[in-house]
């Protein structure tokens, strides 16, 4: 889905380009739970003071660890937040530390492609670790995207500015500021906590939390038709808060849960990935001692939430059981789930923390050193797990055989193949298949609505797509037999076919010379598809002379097929030759008509004997050298023609 089926591709950050692949490639943790990789080619994360992680190329799980790097120029001194977005070829389209925006030219070793200074707009979030997301504009997904920046409530350079939206356009390495800032939530909605997810149909949900005890989630929807919302969901009881202003919000990899870290509480709610509705509360824990809510992330299987304060040890809670614990040796501000099923953390200093095997809270902690003076400055990239759009059905028609495949579209409308899950194809003719890329043979012409249903192996999401396929390669009828026989003084015409349900009728046509045919009858079909049918027609005018017959079959769409041509010499009931049968010769008696002729034909219609009859003779003998068999004798004159069947023993 190739048949797209639902690939989830990660969309934010340089990561963005691939995260759209979430329902694709299977990652296996030690717990045995299958996790889908968000992408299939190398992504880069840019964050903090020039820090960088480049993940291995190819499908996951991948045994190789990401490569730590440094992007030269330090772009984010004193800024905890970062996000970025990549084009489908892997090039980073935009990086922002929520104070400035940069266009990353991959040929440059430093961040020298400055685009926009958010500080001058007074709409920045210079300190909030969760206060920015980026995603494509569904109205122009190949070359336009949004950056949304939340409140900075910590007294930073742009404190108390509400939630603002910017729009950028461009392709390749040419990205430019396009529009904004647009205030989408006022200062009174103090939403530092921002996240984003797809709506399974090409659009996106942007979600913010108001950082208040009312526990209100605010949701906007971005689609190809424009922006709707916001819609507020105030669910559950009040949320314990602290004086610290940071907060974090994340949607689970399968997009069925949303978690909020207020600093004093962790609350987890149901989330509807198709409607954006924030539903009932699934789990809540109070944090003691309370701290700033700067770290939050789901495990790959979505069953565990990890959290941290300002550089504190990383803790976790099992959503189903409520069991809690800590990750030994860990320290972090913000956290981010990687494409390899590991959770990456930002401890103070020049290292990246890594939680391996995080499903179930059983993970182990290690670190990766950042070279070249790179620093997380407390904040990793803020990325969201994204679903793909609906699958796309591809097909190649080769005569009556159709090869099917599938694709999922990523957020830049590139197609991403899916190969992990359960596939069901319905070809529209009551035939089905569970193959990844089946070939189907159609037996009748027509338009078929082909439906592909896919259930991904990790999240259990169901996806479907339908496409019309026009088949015109099938011969309207299959001719099994066609015959013409003498039946007393008539011609009995019979044919046997396998017909389709588009058959209009059969025309019975006759000719005296085999060239000029006329229709002498029309027979309607029995209209039972793919069943052997036999038809007959009697021509009462065929008692004299040679006639030719054929059947023309007419389709409802105007197509025609024609049978072969058959010829017979009809037999007259008056006796002409005797004895009949004969072991030796036959004898005929001239009638005395002028220019009378004797003609003898075999059953193939071939002339085997001819004689001009003399009027004065009483009889004419013939057939002495005939082989054994059946013949037709014809005596004709200017005014008469008679035929008889004879047998030579």
Q: DSSP states of 241-300 as a string?
A: --S----EEEE-TTSSEEEEE-SSEEEEEEE-TTT--EEEEEEEEE-SS-----EEEE-T
Structure tokens at 502: 């588009």
* pLDDT at res. 168: 92
Q: What is the mean pLDDT of residues 146-158?
A: 77
Q: How far apart are CA 217 and CA 131, in angstroms?
A: 15
Question: Residue 392 forms beta bridges with which residues?
Answer: 407
pLDDT band at 220 (very low <50, low <70, confident <90, very high): very high
318-347 in b/e form (b: 16+ CB < 10 A) is: bbeeeeeeebeebbbbbbbbbbbbbbbbbb
Say yes or no to pLDDT of 19 above 50: no
Q: Tell me what pLDDT residue 130 has.
A: 64
Out of 26-30, 295-299, 531-535, give the one with best mean pLDDT: 295-299
pLDDT, tens digit (0-9, with 9 covering 90-100), for 557-592? 777 888 888 888 765 545 678 888 888 999 888 877
160: its two tokens:
């108390």
3-state secondary structure of 91: coil
494, 71 contact by CB (below 8 A): no
Structural tokens at position 242: 């602290």
Look at 455 and 281; give whichever has higher pLDDT. 281
Indicate the range of 70-74, 351-355, 608-612 predicted with least confidence: 70-74
| 403 or 446: which leads in pLDDT | 403
- pLDDT mean across residues, the chain: 79
Q: Which residues contact 243 (CB under 8 A, 6 or more apart)?
A: none
Asked if the model's pLDDT at residue 359 lies above 70, the reply is yes
Assign 174 a pLDDT band (cuts: 50, 70, 90): confident
Nearest-5° angle of CA 312, CA 318, CA 323? Answer: 85
pLDDT at residue 82 in the model: 78
Q: Is 53 exposed, middle or buried (0-12, 13-18, 19+ CB in 10 A)?
A: buried
Provide the 3-class DSSP secondary structure of residue 484. strand
Residue 69 has pLDDT above 80, yes or no: yes
d(Cα 283, Cα 267) in Å, to the nearest integer?
Answer: 6
Measured CA to CA, the distance from residue 177 to residue 175 in angstroms comes to 7
Task: Give per-residue pLDDT as tens, 385-419.
Answer: 666 667 788 889 887 889 998 877 655 555 555 55
CB 404 within 8 A of CB 394: yes
pLDDT digits (tens, 9 = 90+) for 24-59: 222 222 222 222 333 333 467 777 777 888 876 544
Check residue 63 and give its pLDDT.
54
The H-or-E segment that residue 101 falls in is strand 100-102
Structure tokens, 124:
């920045």
Interval 450-469 mean pLDDT: 86
**Nearest-angstrom CA–CA distance, 260 and 273:** 17
At 2 the pLDDT is 30
- pLDDT for 241 beyond 60: yes
Question: Which whole-number Å values give the CA distances from 379 to 15, 49, 166, 349, 531, in the listed order?
Answer: 15, 9, 21, 11, 71
Q: List, edge to edge, every strand of the sheet that includes 100-102.
A: 83-86, 92-96, 100-102, 114-117
Q: How far is residue 181's CA from residue 122's CA, in Å, rounded to a whole number?
A: 9
Residue 200 neighbours by CB under 8 Å, 6+ apart: 6, 273, 274, 387, 389, 390, 461, 463
Answer whether 599's CB lies under 8 Å from 568's CB: no
Mean pLDDT within 277-305: 91
pLDDT of residue 385: 61
Rounded Cα distance, 18 and 90, in Å? 8
Global pTM value: 0.68
Residue pointed to by tokens 């996000």: 83
Confidence band for 296, pLDDT divided at 50, 70 and 90: very high
Tokens 């005929």 sit on residue: 588
Instruction: Report the distance separating Cα 108 and Cα 92, nearest Å.
Output: 12
Residue 541 in this model has a pLDDT that exceeds 70:
no
Give the pairing of strands 295-298 and 304-308.
Answer: antiparallel
Q: What is the largest CA-CA distance in the chain?
A: 138
Going along the chain from its start, the domains and CATH numbers come out as 9-369 (2.130.10), 391-471 (2.60.40.10), 477-569 (2.60.40.10), 577-648 (2.60.40)
Please list the helix, strand and coil fractions of the chain in percent, rounded to the nearest 5, in that order.
Answer: 0, 50, 50
How far is the first Cα of the chain from the last one, in angstroms, to the nearest whole number?
73
| Bridge partners of residue 228, in order along the sequence | 221
Give the three-class secondary structure for 360: helix
Per-residue pLDDT of 477-522, as tens digits, reads 788 899 988 776 678 899 998 876 678 899 999 988 888 899 999 9
Two structure tokens written together for 34? 């299958």
Question: Cβ distance 126 to 100 under 8 Å?
Answer: no
| pLDDT at residue 370 greater than cutoff 60 | yes
Confidence of residue 77 (pLDDT cuts 50, 70, 90): low
């Amino acid at each position: 889905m190739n048949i797209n089926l639902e690939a989830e591709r990660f969309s934010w950050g340089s990561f963005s380009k691939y995260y759209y692949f979430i329902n694709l490639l299977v990652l296996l943790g030690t717990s045995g739970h299958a996790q889908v990789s968000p992408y299939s080619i190398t992504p880069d994360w840019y964050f903090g003071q020039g820090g960088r992680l480049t993940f291995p190329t190819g499908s996951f799980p991948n045994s190789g660890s990401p490569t730590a790097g440094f992007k030269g120029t330090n772009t984010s001194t004193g800024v905890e937040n970062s996000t970025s977005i990549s084009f489908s070829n892997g090039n980073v389209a935009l990086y922002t530390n929520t104070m400035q925006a940069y266009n990353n030219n991959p040929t440059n070793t430093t961040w020298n492609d400055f685009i926009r200074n958010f500080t001058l707009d007074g709409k920045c979030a210079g300190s909030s670790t969760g206060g920015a997301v980026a995603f494509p504009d569904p109205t122009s997904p190949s070359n336009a995207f949004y950056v949304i920046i939340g409140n900075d409530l910590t007294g930073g350079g742009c404190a108390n500015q509400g939630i603002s939206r910017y729009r950028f356009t461009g392709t390749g390495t040419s990205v430019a500021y396009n529009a904004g800032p647009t205030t989408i939530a006022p200062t009174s909605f103090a939403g530092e906590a921002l996240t984003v997810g797809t709506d399974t149909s090409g659009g996106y949900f942007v979600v913010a939390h108001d950082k208040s005890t009312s526990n209100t989630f605010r949701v906007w929807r971005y689609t190809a038709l424009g922006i709707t919302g916001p819609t507020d969901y105030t669910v559950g009881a009040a949320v314990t808060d602290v004086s610290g202003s940071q907060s974090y919000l994340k949607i689970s990899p399968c997009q069925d849960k949303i978690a909020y870290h207020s600093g004093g509480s962790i609350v987890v709610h149901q989330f509807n990935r198709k409607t954006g509705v924030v539903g009932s509360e699934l789990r809540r824990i109070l944090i003691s001692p309370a701290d700033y809510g700067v770290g939050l992330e789901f495990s790959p299987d979505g069953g565990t939430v990890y959290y941290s304060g300002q550089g504190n040890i990383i803790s976790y809670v099992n959503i189903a059981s409520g069991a809690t614990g800590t990750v030994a040796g860990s320290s972090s501000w913000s956290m981010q789930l990687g494409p390899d099923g590991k959770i990456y953390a930002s401890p103070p200093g020049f290292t990246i923390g890594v939680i391996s095997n995080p499903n179930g809270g059983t993970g182990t902690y290690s670190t990766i050193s950042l070279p070249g003076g790179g620093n997380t400055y407390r904040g990793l990239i803020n990325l969201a797990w994204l679903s793909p759009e609906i699958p796309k059905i591809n097909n190649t028609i080769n005569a009556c055989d159709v090869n099917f495949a599938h694709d999922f579209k990523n957020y830049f409308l590139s197609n991403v193949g899916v190969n992990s899950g359960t596939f069901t194809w319905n070809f529209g003719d009551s035939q089905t298949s569970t193959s990844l890329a089946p070939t189907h043979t159609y037996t009748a012409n027509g338009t078929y609505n082909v439906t592909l249903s896919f259930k991904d192996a990790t999240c259990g999401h169901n996806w479907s797509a339908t496409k019309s396929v026009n088949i015109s390669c099938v011969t309207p009828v299959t001719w099994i037999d066609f015959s013409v026989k003498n039946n007393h003084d008539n011609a009995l015409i019979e044919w046997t076919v396998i017909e389709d349900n588009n058959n209009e009728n059969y025309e019975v046509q006759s000719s005296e010379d085999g060239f000029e045919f006329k229709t002498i009858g029309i027979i309607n079909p029995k209209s039972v598809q793919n069943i052997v049918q036999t038809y007959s027609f009697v021509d009462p005018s065929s008692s004299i002379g040679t006639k030719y017959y054929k059947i023309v079959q007419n389709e409802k769409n105007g197509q025609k097929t024609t049978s072969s041509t058959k010829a017979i010499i009809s037999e007259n009931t008056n006796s002409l030759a005797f004895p009949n049968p004969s072991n030796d010769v036959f004898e005929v008696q001239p009638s005395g008509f002028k220019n009378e002729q004797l003609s003898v034909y075999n059953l193939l219609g071939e002339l085997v004997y001819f004689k001009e009859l003399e009027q004065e003779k009483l009889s004419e003998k013939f057939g002495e050298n005939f082989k054994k068999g059946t013949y037709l004798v014809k005596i004709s004159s200017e005014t008469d023609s008679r035929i008889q069947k004879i047998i030579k023993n």
